A and B are shown apart, each in its own frame.
Chain A
Amino acid sequence: EPEVTQTPSHQVTQMGQEVILRCVPISNHLYFYWYRQILGQKVEFLVSFYNNEISEKSEIFDDQFSVERPDGSNFTLKIRSTKLEDSAMYFCASSRGVEEKLFFGSGTQLSVL
């Protein structure tokens, strides 16, 4: 079965540093998403992306966050100046069509010290 891949699996950074989380969605998928999950809490929607632009974003996705699809295969999440509260597992997801099921990657565990 095709899968969404995320790198790195773990990322440790200092507060205030920039991080880029990388995702390779499934090749024929058109819709891309980032979610995050703070330890012990529920999965939270961050942003959806379609046709090379953000479709929707949550209140969590403030000016410190940005997403990009730099080429035909990668989808990245950038956090410009990390804060302690950004520590979480970040999941990338993709779907073939709107209203179709999401395929999630295995996540990047971000630890901000």
Chain B
Amino acid sequence: LAKTTQPISMDSYEGQEVNITCSHNNIATNDYITWYQQFPSQGPRFIIQGYKTKVTNEVASLFIPADRKSSTLSLPRVSLSDTAVYYCLVGDGMTSGTYKYIFGTGTRLKVLA
């Protein structure tokens, strides 16, 4: 079971780039790295997923070094509405035909005006 470690909280100002790093030292060969965002009283929302190197979509970038033991979520030019909890997930692998995602404690990002 791969476990993830993230900073508990981060503060940033509007317009800045925010980088949240996650450690997953025990990641398995077939595991993807997935990031979710959660606002209070809402379900987690998918942000980005990657396996290696760099992935970019319309909201974020994900950087994964060659050893895949960590990953960094990059949010360009954050706004107040990006204040949320961000979770780094590594799948628990296909032990029984399904892919179980285990959530860690997440990083509480607070964007200040």
A residues with a Cβ closer than 8 A to B are 4, 31, 33, 35, 42-45, 48-50, 55-56, 89, 91, 93, 95, 98-107, 109
Contacts and interface: CB of A to CB of B under 8 A. Distances in A.
A56 B97 CA distance: 9
Contacts of A105: 43
B44 interface: yes
B105 A107 contact: no
A81 to B, nearest CB: 26
Contact of A98 (B45, B87, B98, B105): B98
Main secondary structure of the interface of B (DSSP, over half): loop
B66 interface: no
B43 A104 contact: yes
Given A99-B32, A103-B46, A43 B103 contact: yes
B6 to A, nearest CB: 11
A107 B95 contact: no
A43 B87 CA distance: 10
Interface stretch (B12-20, B34-42, B70-78): B34-42
A35 B102 CA distance: 10
A4 B42 CA distance: 12
A24 B44 CA distance: 17
Contacts of B38: 43
A102 B46 contact: yes
Interface string B69-103: 00000000000000000010001001111111111
A24 to B, nearest CB: 14
Top 9 nearest A-B pairs (CB, nearest first) are A104-B43, A55-B98, A43-B103, A48-B98, A101-B46, A99-B99, A56-B96, A91-B43, A55-B96
18 contacts: A33-B100, A42-B103, A42-B104, A43-B44, A45-B103, A55-B97, A55-B98, A56-B95, A56-B98, A91-B43, A91-B44, A93-B43, A98-B97, A101-B34, A102-B101, A104-B43, A105-B43, A107-B42
Nearest to B38: A43
Contacts of A101: 34, 46, 49
Contact of A106 (B42, B104, B106): B42
